[in-house]
Each structure stands twice: as structure tokens, then as C-alpha cells.
Amino acid sequence: MTDRAEERLRDAFAGAGPSDELVASARGRAVDAASARARRAPRGRRRTFAVLAIAGALVGGGMATAAMVFERGEPAVPATPAARAAIGESGVLASAPWLFQAEGGQSVRAVPRLPSLRFPPGTTYRAALDALVRSVIADGTLPDGARLARPLPPGVVWRRSRTAPRLDLAAPAGYARPQGIIQAPTFSLPGWVATPDAVRIGKALRDGTPIGRDEALLVTVTPPRLAACQMLPRRAPCRLDPPPAAPRS
Amino acid sequence: MVAMRGHSADGELVARARAGDDRAADELAVRHVRQVWRAAYAITGRPDLADDAVQDGFERAFGALDQFDVSRAFAPWITRIVVNRALSLVTRARLTEEFDEERHPAPEDDLATDLEVVDALTRIAPERRVVVVMRIVVGFSPQETAEALGIAVGTVHSRLHRGLADLRAALEVTVS
């Protein structure tokens, strides 16, 4: 026996469906994953090699305690040498605070607003962040298919939209609350990378030292747990501590 | 198409995909992506989270095809994987305040679904919500739902009964 609630429930989702972009993306992922599984050694266990990369990000309360090996002005990411040069020449990336955390994470309330990056329809936050970070560390450029757009409202990292999703260029990996410290991305490597290579690339990821372009392209980004208040439409305000006072001269 | 002996309807495609046949993997994905997306959307109440759940779930499922028993139905198996992923995403994105549609309107391109029902569904306890979604939204039988979730058929019935009661209550509250 069905009742009104059941009917409404059934009707509510009867017309709902994924976008064409999502269908295409899911098909691609399915084929890639199945092919990769078929290529692997028989019954080989997939090894997950996750590396917490650039320090300087805070989780919860506490101080930025990163072991910094960069000189001031050097990107604190494991970019290729060519990418580092390109970042320095880029009008936007050269001032992106998430790339320059050598002296500790900066407060999202204290950094200048930057343009946002508009992605093609159907792009998810995970895909957008991954595309941005990989493009920056491999080539020092913004990802193909993305365009600069007006800044997002203060505190917003990701604007959800099926037609025009946008990512904040100041803090694309979000920020910790309540300090508002801008988070650095977390990187990972696929399990099939040989152990010596994984160790070597992992060290470069931790230290932020230059890596080759082929190695940079192996890197994937693990998306952070973005708070609901850091997305549009926003369902909750982000309550942040006041930014630290500027030192008196 | 005649299924191979001992294989379910999708079992032959799974066997071919395991052997590296990309077209078989693609066909499997096409067959199931819409239904599992609908389930993920019903679980999360958000299209963007449903997108993430489907993409992650497909990557996991198709990367672990050798763990699938080809004598069983594929739909409950992949739906369970995606639904579990959807649940973990929605738990992470747990809101700290009640959604206020007056203050925060939905995106201009939101889906043409009954948002009141979507919202009410997300207020049901996850273990009941999953059963309601699999039975009512996806249309699995009690047996398929029980198999997918690894619970007894009787538990499916009781969770469905309670979940629908919760849904009715949530809709009444919403309407009033």
C-alpha cells in the first residue's frame, strides 16, 4: 500500500538525473579504474601512499609549526623549476597566499581578495582543486578550460553551480576555523608508483622542493573537508577570530 | 544477449571488464550511472555531493571489480558503494545550522525536484534513509535491499516503516 508521502518521494526523484558532464566523467573514471585494475599484477594489493604536503596549514587550534625550507618569495609547493618561474611572472598566482606559506599560514581575513576561477559546467570541487593544483605545480599556469572571474564573497572558497562553478584563488583548499588560517593542499600518489620513486617524490612533496614535470603530473590532490560555510549557497556563517594585529613599526 | 552460465545479467560485462575490455566497463557504467546518482542525490540532498559520490564510488567499484560475485546482481553492489560514499560525504558536510531558504536561496540552476521532500528526507536518520531510498527511490526489492546493505529482510521492513513515518512527520512540520 502506498500513501501520499511515498508518492511524493517517488515523484520527487523521478525526474532527477545527473548532468551529461557527470555521466561522461563517471564513465571515464569507470573505464580508467577498470583498465588500471586489469593492468595491475594479479591480485596485487593497491598501495595507498598519501603524503601530507606543505606544512603551514593548521588543523583545529594551534600554531603554524611548519618546517620551512623556502626562502621568502619562493613558492612553497613542489613545483617544477619552469613552473616556479611562471608563477613568479603570473599576475594572479604570484600573489596567491596558499602558494606562499613559507612563514606560516596566513589568515584568510588578512589577505587581499583575488579573482576566482570559473570552471566548465559540471566541474566538482574535487576536480577543480585537483586541476588547479596540478596545473600550477606542473606548469605554473591556470588550468585549461578555466577562466578568471570576479572574486567570491569574503570567506567563500567554492561556489556550487551546475553552470558556472567558481573556486577562490586565495584559499582554494579552504581555511581552518576559527583562526581562518589558509590551508595548503594535501597531495597523494597513485598506488602503482614504484616504492623508490614514491619515496623520492614524497620527500619532494613534503619539502616543497622542485620535481620533474612527469612527476608533477602523477600527483593528485586530496580535497579537504570544506566547511558548509565556505561554500555558496552558504548555509551557515563562518565565525572567525579577528585577524592578528599588524606589528607596530 | 545470453548471459554466461552462472553469471547475473551484468556478470558477463563484469567478467569482460575484469579482463581489460574498456567497452564492457563503459557499458556497465552507462547502465547504472543514472540510478545510482539518483540514490546519491536522495541521500545527500545536494547535486554536487551526489556528483562527488558517484565519481568516487565508480572509481572504487570499477577498481575493485574482482571483489564482485558475478553470480549476484550488480546494481545493488554498486549502489551500496556509491550510497556509502554519499553517506560519508553528507556526514562530513553536516550543517551546523538549519537551512534557511529565505536567506540562502538554492542555486539558480538547481534541479527541478520537490525540494521540500528532498529536505525532509535528509532529516531522517541515515540507516533509515538508506533503506527508504533503496526501496522507494531506486525501487529495489526488500531482498535486494537487504543484500546490498548486509541486513536482514525483516530489518529492511522495520527501517522502511519507521523511515516513512519520519518522512511523514518531517513533511508535516515543513508544511506547517
3-state secondary structure of A162: coil
Looking at CA atoms only, how far is residue A88 from chain B in angstroms?
A: 33
Question: What's the mean per-residue pLDDT of chain B?
Answer: 81
pLDDT at A62: 25
Question: What's the mean per-residue pLDDT of chain A?
Answer: 74
Distance of alpha carbon A139 from alpha carbon A150, whole angstroms: 23
Strands (E), chain B: none
Mutate to test the interface with A, among B10, B37, B51 (most CBs of A within 10 A): B51
pLDDT at B140: 94
Residues 6+ apart with CB under 8 A from A26: A18, B29, B33, B37, B54, B55, B58
Contact yes or no for A96/A169 (Cβ under 8 A): yes
Identify the band that residue A246 occupies on the pLDDT scale cut at 50, 70 and 90.
low
Looking at CA atoms only, how far is residue B173 from chain A in angstroms?
A: 13
Average the pLDDT over B138-146 and give the result.
93
Average the pLDDT over A174-181 and give the result.
84
Q: Is the pLDDT of residue A150 over 90?
A: no
The distance from CA B51 to its chain's CA centroid, rounded to whole angstroms, is: 12
Q: Quote the cell numbers at residue A103.
A: 612563514
- The CA dihedral of B38, B40, B44, B49, to the nearest 10 degrees, is -100
Contact yes or no for B41/B50 (Cβ under 8 A): yes
Which residues are paired to A168 by β-bridges? A116
pLDDT at A235: 58
How many Cβ atoms are within 10 Å of A112's Cβ, its own excluded? 8
Average the pLDDT over B44-50 and give the result.
86
ipTM value, please give it.
0.81
What is the domain class of B11-175 according to CATH? Answer: mainly alpha
Task: Tell me phi and psi for residue B14, to 5 degrees.
Answer: -60, -45
pLDDT at B157: 96
Average the pLDDT over A99-114 and give the result.
76
In eight-state DSSP terms, residue A179 is: T
Q: Is the pLDDT of residue B60 over 50?
A: yes
The distance from CA A83 to its chain's CA centroid, rounded to whole angstroms, is: 17
- The CA dihedral of A105, A111, A117, A123, to the nearest 10 degrees, is 40
Q: Which of A67-76, A83-92, B120-129 has the lowest mean pLDDT?
A: A67-76
pLDDT at B159: 95
Average the pLDDT over A137-152 and give the result.
87
Q: What does the pLDDT look like over B83-102, one tens digit per residue?
A: 988 888 876 544 433 333 34
Q: Is the pLDDT of residue B127 over 70?
A: yes
Give residue A119's identity as a one-letter amino acid code: F
Question: CB–CB of A38 and B18 under 8 A?
Answer: yes
Percent of chain A at pLDDT exceeding 70: 75
Q: Quote the cell numbers at residue A78.
A: 613542489
Average the pLDDT over A36-57 and give the result.
42
Contact yes or no for B43/B119 (Cβ under 8 A): no
Distance of alpha carbon B41 from alpha carbon B87, whole angstroms: 10
Q: Is the pLDDT of residue A142 over 70?
A: yes
Which is more confidently placed, A145 or A213?
A: A145
In eight-state DSSP terms, residue A107 is: B
Question: CB–CB of B38 and A22 under 8 A?
Answer: no
Average the pLDDT over B60-83 and give the result.
89
Residues listed for chain B: 176
Average the pLDDT over B51-63 and give the result.
89
Question: CB–CB of A9 and B132 under 8 A?
Answer: yes
Chain B residues inside the 8 Å CB shell of A13: 38, 41-42, 113, 137
Identify the band that residue B79 occupies on the pLDDT scale cut at 50, 70 and 90.
very high
pLDDT at A55: 28
Tell me the residues of chain A between 142 and 171 that have a Cβ less than 8 Å away from chain B.
160-163
Distance of alpha carbon A8 from alpha carbon B67, whole angstroms: 37
Q: What does the pLDDT look like over A192-229, one tens digit per residue?
A: 777 788 778 777 776 767 777 777 778 778 888 788 78
Out of A80-84, B19-23, B89-93, the most confident range is B19-23
Mutate to test the interface with A, among B55, B78, B166 (most CBs of A within 10 A): B55
- With cell 518522512, the residue in question is B167
pLDDT at A103: 53
- With cell 606544512, the residue in question is A55
